[in-house]
Each structure stands twice: as C-alpha cells, then as structure tokens.
Amino acid sequence: MTEVAIDKEKTWDAVLQALRLTVSTGTYNTYIRQTELLEIREKEGRLICEVGCSSAFVKIYLEQRCWGQIMEELERVTGKRCELILKVGSRKAREQETGSDNLPLFEEKTGISDGGWKRAKLKADFTFENYAVAGSNQMAFAAAQAVARKIGEAYNPLFIYGGVGVGKTHLMQAIGHEVLKNDKGTVLFCSGEEFTNDLVEAIRFKATEKIRSKYRKVKALLIDDVQFIAGKPGVQEEFFHTFNAIQREGGQVVMTSDRPPTEISKLEERLRSRFGAGLIVDIGPADFELRTAILLIKSRQRNIDLPMEAAQAIAERIEGVRELEGFLVRLATEAEVGRKEITQERIDQLLKVNRPTNGEARVVTPAEVISAVGEYYRIGTSALKGERRTKMIAWPRQILMYFLRHELKLPLEEVGRILGGRDHTTVMHGSGKVKLELETNPQLKTELGEIKKRIFTGDR
C-alpha cells in the first residue's frame, strides 16, 4: 500500500462542490460541509480514501444516505476506482469548535470585514454584484434590493419561489450580505431542513430556549426551502412564533420555496396567511442570454478562462442553472487536478457535441437518449417513465439512468425528475448497477455501444 501524489484539499474541494449541487442545502450544511479527506493511498489498483466526519452521528448518516454519491464523485474527480472509509474526526470540525467560528453567533458588530457572513452561514460570492439579471428574475432582484435598503420595512416578509437552480438562494443571501455590509444588524441563513433538525435536537437535549434565542434575536432571518416544514405541526408551531417575534422587533423574514404558499400542501393556514402578507415573487427559468451571463460570472469566480463562444455553446446545450454550475465544477476539477487541459475540444467532449465536417454542432438532448433506449429495447417512453417494475422494463430504465447520468452528466435529481419524479437514491442505485455490470458483462458493453451510436450519430 503506497501513498498517492494527489492534492487532498483540491480533490476533496472538488468533491464537495459537486455534492453541494446534488443534495439539499440542509443535508450539505448539516452533514457534508465539515467533512475532510484525511488520507489517500493506493492498494491493488484502487484508491483507499479516508474521510473524516465531525461526529459519529454524521458518520452514520453519510453511510446510510450519501455513501454512493460520495464514492461516485471521488471516482469522477480522481479518475480511478475508489474505496471509501469514513472515520470520526475532522480538522475542520475541530477548528470550528476552537477557532473563530466558535465566537458568539451574534455580536453587536458583525460586518463583512470581521467574518460576520461566515457566522450568518452565507456564501462569500452570493452577492448582488455577482447576480446576473434578466427578464425572468428582474422583479425578484428589484424586490430583494428594496428589502436590503429598508430592512424590516419594505416587503416583510419577502417570499421568493421558483424551480431548482434559478437563483433563489443567491438572491436571498445577497440581502444578508447587504445587511451585514451596512451594519444594520445580525443575519442568519438556514434551510427549512436545518430549522427542523435544530428544533428536534433542542427537544432531545432540552435546549429549546437556546434555539429560540438563536433564531429570534436576529435582524434578518433567511429561510431556504421553507416548504420543508409543511406537515410537521411542532415545527410549524415554533416557526410561527419565531416569525412573529422577529417582525415584532422590526426584523425581516425572507423565504424561498419551489412553489407559492397557496400550493404548499399541509402548510397551516395561519402560516400561509403570514407568508402572503408581504410580497410573493417568482423567478422563472433562465433564458439563453441569462445562462450565458451566469456562466461568464461563475467561470470568472473559479478562475476559468471561458471565451464567449464557449459560454454560448454551453448555455445552448444546458438549460438548468444548477447543471451549468455542475459543468463548470467539472471543468475546474480537471484543470486543478491537472488531468486535462480546458480546450474547446474538451468542452465539446463533455457536452457530447458531435461536430460534422460542415462545422455545425448537433446537440444531444435527454429526449433523444430516452428515444434511443426505448427503440433499442422496444419499450415506449411512458413505460420507461412509469411505475411498472417488471424486469423487461426495469433494466432498460436503469440503462437509461446510466446514460443520462454518465453520458449526458446530468445531476441525480435532474435524472429523477426526467424519469417521472424518482428519488435521487433510485437513480444512483440504478445507474450504479449498470456501471458495475459493465465490468464483467461484454454483451452489455456491446449493447450500450450500439445505443450510444444511435444517440450520438443519430443512426437508427
């Protein structure tokens, strides 16, 4: 067993960047963010990766819920087969306990310069300056700026809703940055899932007063994915009183959700009424120009030299903003790890764009992949997306998951959405099963080769 010359920090940072895009904000912040790659060594042609966790509770959760995703990203980043070992013990967690993050959560002065944005759990680059504006988000952007200028007065609460990856969280956190920068008070960002977990832990350890103090004594409370609290009576009760306490003291509440309050099922009527008392604004899907602008902004943040032509080619091929960021993560990973140079040809390869001799690009869409797999196995699209689990349908469906995941590089959640709203763990299991079978089944390699030819050449 030998040590491997791999930059552990860069490798793990690339893994974390990818995981942040495929799991919920609450799961990432609560369980994954404080993990650390402790050691990489090689044994019998594979990499043994030891990852440190902040506690035994986190270790158990990751083993049960995120094992496959972590393994998949490790293998993607390193380019080798990996074996994952989770251990209790993380330098990041120890630093948080003993370092600056252990300062009181709220101080009289908590500006940007003294790290207030870290205590507020904001991302450094989620500011108004880094937010690309177009028709689909212009109203939400204007409302957020108005709230930041007159905290607790204009549009209180502010409720922003829209699909995955349209910039809701970025816009909400930008408000928090402005509040801190202008020294208008304390800020706290969390997800609905984190709020729920905090309350559960508080009840478990008889520390409800501490949690109430944490959430109620802020000038601006930013709640991401607030729909998560729906259907949980105890959590909704606590949030109702927290909401009232903040507004009573002149504070601001900003929330995001994937749907408007009227469409959140199992949300108590009194909360639905409170949410609707301010301003409710939606953010639509990003158009081509906005996607291009987002790519240029985020590539600059990641120190990637991305020409306008390349950005437009990517924006034309990828519609989801979350998927755009995932694509940039992959480009940055390849540059940092040093395996491949970022060229137009490499971008085309990652996009799976075939350039005929006339120079025109042919874009491969998920619909084409579904059609090719369905035609090869003589199964209709509705059956592939449906609920039937017979072997003659389930196996082609898993092959479809494999192609969408590993050939088109779509995130797990996006593949699940395309295939009838399936859970990301189902996609992970299905695509992983095909990947494993490929190692020992030459017939399957032949089948997938034929399907791949149909997909990328259009040869039916």
Which positions make up the binding site for ATP?
165, 167-169
Q: Tell me the C-alpha distance between 229 and 231, whole Å.
A: 6
Beta bridge partners of 82: 47
Q: Is the dihedral of CA 51, 53, 59, 64 positive or negative?
A: negative
Cα angle 224, 227, 230 (rounded to 5 degrees) comes to 135
CB 37 within 8 A of CB 12: yes
Question: Taking the CB of residue 349, how many other CB atoms lie within 10 A of it?
Answer: 12
Beta bridge partners of 221: 188, 253
3-class SS at 88? strand
Question: Taking the CB of residue 3, how many other CB atoms lie within 10 A of it?
Answer: 9
CA-derived radius of gyration, the chain: 23
By the 10 Å C-beta count (0-12 exposed, 13-18 middle, 19+ buried), 148 is classed as: buried
CA 271 vs. chain centroid, Å, equals 27
Q: Which residue ranges are tagged as binding site?
A: 165, 167-169
3-class SS at 191? strand
Count the alpha carbons within 13 Å of 269 in the hemisphere toward its beta carbon: 0
Contacts within 8 Å (CB) and 24+ apart, 412-416: 412/22, 412/69, 413/22, 413/164, 414/164, 414/320, 414/322, 414/323
Pairing of strands 36-43, 46-53: antiparallel
The type of residue at 368 is: E
DSSP per residue over 7-65, as a string?
-HHHHHHHHHHHHHHHS-HHHIIIIITT-EEEEEEEETTEEEEEEEESSHHHHHHHHHH
CB 371 within 8 A of CB 316: no
